[in-house]
Chains A and B, each alone.
Chain A
Amino acid sequence: MARITVKGVSEIRGPLIVIEGVSGIQMGEYLEVNLENQPSRKGRVLAIEEERVIVLLYQGTYEIEKNEIETEFFGRTMQLFVSEDMIGRIFDSLGQPLDGLPSIYSEDYRDVNGLPINPTSRIYPRSYIETGISTIDIMNTLVRGQKLPIFTGAGLPNNKLIGQIVRQARIAEQDGSEKFAIVFGAMGLTMDDYIYFQRLFKETGTLNKVIMFSNLASDSAAERLLTPRVALTTAEYLAFDKGYQVLVILSDITNYCQALREISVALETVPSRKGFPGYMYSDLASIYERAGIVENSKGGSKGSITMLANLTMPNDDITHPIADLTGYITEGQIILDRSMHNKGIYPPIDVLGSLSRLMKDGIGEGFTRKDHPSLSDQLYASYAEGLDKRRLAEVIGRKELNRRDQILLSFADKFEETFVNQGDEHRTIEESLALGWSLLSQLPETELTKISGELIKTYMTKSEEEIA
Chain B
Amino acid sequence: MTGGTVDNARIVSIKGSTVQVKGLSSYRMGEITFVGEEKLIGEIIEIEHDLATIQVYEPLEGLRINDPVFLTGKSLSAELGPGLISNIFDGIQRPLEMIKKITNSAFIERGIQTNALDRKKKWLFTPNKELQKGNIIHGGDVLGSVIETNTIECKIIAPPSTYGELLEIQDKGEFTVTEPIVTIKNQDNKKSELTLMHEWPVRVARPFLKKIPVHEPLITGQRIIDMFFPIAKGGTAAIPGGFGTGKTVVQHQLSKWSNADVVIYIGCGERGNEMTDVLREFPKLVDPHTKNPLMDRTMLIANVSNMPVAAREASIYMGITMAEFYRDQGLNVLLTADSTSRWAEALREISGQLEEMPVEEGYPAYLGARLANFYERAGQVVTLGSPYREGSINITAAVSPPGGDFSEPVTANTKRFVKTFWGLDSTLANRKHFPSINWFTSYSGYIDVIEEWALESGLEDWGRYRQEMFTILQQDSELQHIVELIGSKALPAYEQLIILAADIIKDGFLQQSAFHPVDSFCPIDKQMKMMKLMLLFYQRAHLLIKNGCPISLINSLKSVQILKRMKEDIPNDNLMLLNKLEDHIHSEMEELGSKYGYKV
Contact = CB atoms under 8 A, between A and B. Distances in A.
Interface of A: 23-28, 47-51, 77, 111, 113-125, 240, 269-273, 278-279, 281-282, 285-286, 289-290, 292, 294-297, 319, 321, 324-325, 327-329, 331-333, 352-353, 355, 357-358, 360-361, 373, 377, 380-381, 384-385, 391-392, 395-396, 400-402, 404-405, 444-446, 449, 452-453
A328 B400 contact: yes
Given A117-B106, A121-B106, A273-B402, A405 B487 contact: yes
B108 A281 contact: no
B353 to A, nearest CB: 9
A118 B271 contact: no
B107 A118 contact: yes
A395 B484 contact: yes
Interface residues of B, number: 81
A377 B62 contact: no
Chain A CB within 10 Å, residue with most, of B269, B272, B305, B348:
B272
B541 to A, nearest CB: 15
Contact of B62 (A24, A28, A122, A353): A28
B243 A27 contact: no
A357 B99 CA distance: 28
Interface string B559-583: 0110011001100000000000000
B335 to A, nearest CB: 19
A285 B277 contact: no
B302 interface: yes
B280 interface: yes
Contacts of B15: 47-49
A272 B362 contact: yes
A119 B348 contact: no
B484 A392 contact: yes
A51 B305 CA distance: 33
B487 A118 contact: no
Contacts, number: 218
Interface in B263-301: 267, 269, 271-273, 275-277, 279-280
Chain A CB within 10 Å, residue with most, of B97, B243, B279:
B243
Chain A CB within 10 Å, residue with most, of B110, B244, B404, B483:
B244
B440 interface: no
Given A118-B100, A405-B488, A446 B568 contact: no
A328 B426 CA distance: 13
Nearest to A403: B552
Nearest to B99: A118
Contact of B485 (A286, A297, A331, A395): A395
28 contacts: A24-B64, A24-B65, A27-B14, A27-B63, A47-B15, A47-B16, A49-B13, A113-B59, A114-B107, A116-B306, A118-B99, A119-B275, A119-B304, A120-B88, A121-B107, A122-B275, A240-B106, A281-B305, A289-B306, A292-B272, A327-B244, A373-B515, A395-B484, A396-B487, A445-B561, A446-B556, A449-B564, A452-B569
A279 B349 contact: yes
B583 to A, nearest CB: 18
A50 B12 contact: yes
A13 to B, nearest CB: 16
Contact of B342 (A281, A295, A373, A396): A281
Contacts of B103: 118
Contact of A289 (B12, B96, B272, B515): B272
B168 interface: no
Contacts of B362: 270-272, 278
A290 B569 CA distance: 41
A271 B105 CA distance: 36
**Closest A-B pairs by Cβ, 10 of them:** A285-B305, A319-B403, A28-B61, A384-B431, A327-B243, A121-B106, A294-B106, A115-B107, A119-B275, A289-B306
Contact of A401 (B271, B487, B558): B487
Contacts of B63: 26-27
B307 interface: yes
B226 interface: no
B109 interface: yes
B276 A116 contact: no
